[in-house]
Every structure is written in C-alpha cells, then in structure tokens.
Amino acid sequence: MSEQLKFIIEQLNKEPFKKNLNLITFDSLEPLQLLQILNDVLAEIDPKQALNIREEMPEQTVKRMCALLGLLKYKPPGSLSDVSNFRQGLVTGSKPVVHPILHWLLQRVPELKKRAYLAHFLVKLEVPAEFLQDDVISDTSHQYEELVEGFKTYHKECEQLRNSGFSTAEIRRDISAMEEEKYQLIKSVERLKKRVESLSNHERMLEQARQLRVEKEREESLTHQKQEQKNQLFQAEQRLQRSQQQLKDLRQAAADASPESLIRRLEEEIKINSYMVSEKLPKELEGMRRTVQYLQEVASEPAMGQTNLEDLEDKVRTNVDSQINQLIEKKMMRNDPMDDKLTLYRQQASIIIRRKESKAQELQEAREELAGAERDLRQRNSQAQASNGEGVIQGDELKRLVVKLRGKGTMYKKKRQEIAELKAEYGVLQRTEEILKQRHELVQDKLQTVEAEKGISGYSDTQEELEKVSAIKSELDEKKGRTLDDMSEMVKKLNSMIVEKKSALAPVIKELRSLRQRCQELSHVYEEKKVQYESCAAGLESNRSKLEQGVKALREETAQDENRYHYINSMSEMQIQRAAEEMKAYVSSDPQEKKKAIREVYMKNILEQELLGKKLREKQKMVRESHSENMEQMKMWRDLEQLMECKRQCFIQTESQASIGQIIQEGGKDRLVL
C-alpha cells in the first residue's frame, strides 16, 4: 500500500499536475479534495472532464466518473466488486476506493488518453429493434456504422504513418531543398546553353559530350563486368582447389579402404562407443546425480551459523578418525596371503582402468574440440561468403594477399610522411600569408593617406577593379579556347582508351572461355567421383547397419539370458531357503515351531479332510437306508396334495352353484331352491 501511495504522489508532483504533495499532506486530504484530484487526472485523460466538482451535484459527478471509467475498462479490486458499494465509496470520497483508481490511471496515462479519444468515435449506439423498422433511422444507423469502420481504418493508417519514422517537417525540408537544387540546376543549364550557343559548332560539341558520357557509363559497366568476372574466376579456382583436395582425400581413403580395414575400424569404433555408453557415461551420470542430490540436501537445510559449523567440523573429525581406525583394524584382521598375491594384479587392473578412463576422456575432449572447430569453420566460411560472396582464402591467394597488404602498408607510410611534410609546409605558408597580409594592410593605409593628401582618393581601388575585370575577361577567353581543345582531346583519348580496353580484354575473354570449359570438365569428373563415393558409402552404411542390428540382437539375447539366469537363481535360492526352514522346523523340539512346519500343516489338513469324508460317508449310508421309506412318505404327501386340490375345486364349484340357487339336503335327498 505504501508503494502505491509513493507512486501516486510521485506522479502527481510531475508535469502536468504539479500538486507538490507528500505522504502526510496527501493522507490528510478531505474527501472532496481527493475527488477533485481524481477529476483532474480524468481531465488530463479526457479534456471534457475538466470541471469543478463543487459546482456539480454528487450524483452527476459519480455518474460521469463511472461512465468514463467504464469506457476506460477499469475493473475495481476484488473487495469492491459490488457496484453499489463502489458507487457509495466514490460519492463519499473513500480512500480505499479512490487510491486504486488513481494508481491504475497514473500507470497508463498515454494509453488511456488514446482509449478515451477513440471511445468518443467508436461507441456503438444501441437502437431498439422497433425503431429500426423506420427506413430513415435504419439508413442513418448503417451510415453511422460505416463511418465508425472508416474511422478505424483511417486511424490505423495514421498510426502506421506515425510509427514508420517519417516526419512531415523533414519531408517538407527535403522537398524544399530538392526544389532549390532543381532551380539551381535549371539556371546553371540555361547559363551553359547561352554560353555554348554563341559558338559556331556547339551542336557537334554537345553531341561529342553526350557520346563521352555514354562511353563513360559503358566503361563503368565494363569495369563492373570485369570485376564480376574476376570474382567468378576466383570462386571457380577456389571450387577447383576444394574439388582437387576432396578428390585427393577420396583417393587416399580409397587406397587405404579395404573391407577388412573398414570392418576393423568399425569394430574399434563400436568397442569405444560401447565402453563409453556402458561404463564411462553411467559413472559420470551417477556422479552427477550424487552431486545434485548432495546439493539439494544442502539447499534444503536451514541456514547455519558459526557455532553450527564448528560443531559439524568437530563431528566430522571424530567420525573420520574413528572410521579410519576401524577400517585399519578390519584390514589387519582380513590380511590374507592370497590377497597379497592378488594385490599386484589388482594394482595393474586399476592402472589399466584409470588409463582407459583417461584415454576415453581425451577422446571425448578431442571429439568436442573437432566438432567446435568444424562449427567455427562453417560459421567463418558463411560469414566470409555473406560479406564478400567468396569462400575462405587459402594457399597461394593468401600469400598474394599478404604481399599486397605489405606493399599497401609501405605506400601508406610514404603517403603519411608526405602528408606530414605538406602539413608543415602549409603551416609555414599560412604564417607567411599572415605576414604579407599585415604588410599589405600597412601599405594600403599609407597609399590611402598619400591619395588623400594629393586629392585623388580611391584611384588605386578603381585601378585594381579595372585590372581584375580585364584579367577575368582574359581568363574566360582562355577557358573557352581550352574547353574546346580539351573536349576534342578527351574524345580522342576516349576512343583510344576504348580500343585499348577491347584489345586488353580479348585475351582475358579467351582465357575465361578455356577456364570455363575446364571447369565443366572438372565438374563432370567430380560428379562421377561423387557418385562412386556415395555408392561406396551406401554399401558401407548398409554393412554397418547390419552389424549394428546383429549386435543389438545379441545384446537383447544376452539380456534375456541374464534375466532368465537371475530368475532361476533367485527361485532356487528361495526354494533352498524354504527347504532349510522346513527342515529346521521339522527337526526342532519346540512344539510351536513344529506346528509352523508345512508337513504338520498338511497332516492337519489331511486329518480334517479324512474326518469330513467319514462324516459324509455315514450320512450317505443313512440316506441310502431311509431312501425307500422317504420315497413312500413323499408319495403319500403328493396324494394328500392332490386330495386337497380336489377339495378346493369342489368348494369353488359349490360356491358358484349357491349363487344360482340353494341346495337343501333332507332325508338323503337333495333339493334345489331358486
């Protein structure tokens, strides 16, 4: 809460609010003053809210603030989620209501300004459906929706233009500068036209100048083409060198690559990899797991003080000493002569294991270093190709480049020395110029005083201006003559240079054709060798995959056999242990132990079953003896049941006859009375 108040006060003390508040004054504000501050913040976001809340009814103030907060999508905190409580707190200027609003608003002032601006144009008007039946209202509603969509698109385009980095002021300045340059160029072109039109053969000179420009452009394009061809030639030479190196490596590999050697190499690699996977890596993984477990235990323990550390050190010393003494005693007690004989072999085995582990570690480090070097080489090669369009410089080209750089270094030193001499000479000349200017000013002052004394002031200035005008006129005449001569000489030089360039490029083009043909031949040879290499590599890869499958099958079979062996061994041990326990219980003199024996349990079960069988046989004998009597009794019961059923039927019939009339028996006769 204190951080929230600090942030609110800090923001209110800045522009544009400048409230000059602190924690005490802000906390002691009246509810009306706090609401006025909230209204000022809302007015900064939306200028339409700039009102004095004393001149407004509290209900209208709350309604206006709630409407704006709803447009800004403000959500009250969890304890103020009830709308009525929130409105009541806003009316009374409650601090738990106003402080979160101020904190939320001051955090997002620029964003909320934009949202408030857009809300006035993007609010959708809810028109009842019965009013939309009117054509005028429906058309107006559609037009309003179209205007809202158009405003969205225009606003997005405006935001894109603002974020694109273009400034209208800079564009206007650039346009004005370009227009000024255009105007200056037009004026200079018109001046040059006027100067040239006075000459007799100006059209011919203009045509030659045009041809000169065309030839210069052509020369630049030819130079560019020549540079590109040089780059292509250099790249072709680099590819040729790489192809020759690959061909050489492939020949060496093919010379040493017999099937037996390849299989032997693959077997060695399989052994190394199996050792790495089965022995080295599991040990490292187990060590890392122990380290992680130890670190987790250390991290989970509470923080220790100095006294706890001292106690732990004392415990470690006492425990370590006692454990060392116990181990020494155990070793002395187990001192076996056979162990002494095997100690040498154990030491040799441990040395071999350590050497094997060190070599495996060196092999792994070498592989990692090789992978890093190859990755660095690929990265540098890609960087070189991206920057220059060429590969890595190697061999003779590197030597030529070093010689060229040395020559440029010596040239750079000479030029730097010449620049230093010129700078020194420039300083001397600058100082001389200053001295001469001072003398010239003195002479001019004296001359002006003399002219004033003689009454002819300004004569020297007029004479100097006349001399300057005549000199400028003579220079212009000389320039006109030199321009015509220079243009004719330049045309001749260009023609001669074009002829020389053509003659110089002819042998280069011929050599390039031969090199292209040679490159095509070498690329054809390279493709053939590549096909041979790929076929050989595919065959070796298939053999390797077969060997790997065989090794995998053998490993699976070995694992199954080991599992079967361990299962049989464990079952046999369990049976042997069970038999030993049974024998111990059977031989024991304790009756309680004998009762636990399986033999006794089985004997008890047999006796119980025999007694049960005896009872069942006696019961069977009794049933057989009373079977005939029971059958007669059963038959009598059935006859009784039939007799009772017959009586029931007769009774039902008599009941039905009694409903028709009444039978009276008198004197051995039956009489029916209706």
- So what's the pLDDT on residue 637? 92
Average pLDDT over residues 464-471: 69
Query: Would you state the structure tokens that stand for residue 655, as one six-digit string?
Result: 């009941």
The number of angstroms, rounded, from the C-alpha of 496 to the middle of its chain's C-alpha atoms is 61
Question: pLDDT tens digits for 226-271?
Answer: 888 888 888 888 888 888 887 877 777 666 666 777 777 778 778 7
DSSP 504-562: HHHHHHHHHHHHHHHHHHHHHHHHHHHHHHHHHHHHHHHHHHHHHHHHHHHHHHHHHHH
Q: Does residue 277 carry a pLDDT above 90?
A: no
- So what's the pLDDT on residue 658? 54
Average pLDDT over residues 139-151: 83
Q: Does residue 644 carry a pLDDT above 90?
A: yes
Lowest mean pLDDT among 264-268, 624-628, 665-669: 665-669
Domain 1-123 architecture: Orthogonal Bundle (1.10)
The residues, ordered by sequence, that sit 6+ positions from 444 with a Cβ below 8 Å of its Cβ are: 460
In terms of pLDDT, which residue wins out, 524 or 471? 524
Euclidean distance between CA atoms 242 and 390, whole angstroms: 13
Euclidean distance between CA atoms 158 and 168, whole angstroms: 13
DSSP 240-303: HHHHHHHHHHHHHHHHH--HHHHHHHHHHHHHHHHHIIIIIHHHHHHHHHHHHHHHHHHHHSPP
DSSP 306-344: HHHHHHHHHHHHHHHHHHHHHHHHHHHHT--HHHHHHHH
Residue 481 pLDDT level (bands cut at 50, 70, 90): low
Q: Do residues 385 and 391 lie in contact, with contact meaning Cβ atoms separated by under 8 Å?
A: yes
Residue 612 pLDDT level (bands cut at 50, 70, 90): very high
User: Where in the chain are the domains?
Assistant: 1-123, 474-587, 590-622
Question: pLDDT tens digits for 175-214?
Answer: 888 888 888 888 888 887 777 777 777 777 778 888 888 8
Question: pLDDT tens digits for 323-345?
Answer: 777 777 676 665 554 455 566 66
- CA angle (148 as vertex; 143, 149 as ends), nearest 5: 100
pTM: 0.29
Question: pLDDT tens digits for 554-598?
Answer: 989 998 988 888 888 888 888 888 788 777 777 777 777 766 677
Residue that the structure tokens 């020549």 belong to:
226
DSSP 345-374: HHHHHHHHHHHHHHHHHHHHHHHHHHHHHH
Question: pLDDT tens digits for 22-48?
Answer: 877 888 888 888 888 888 888 888 888
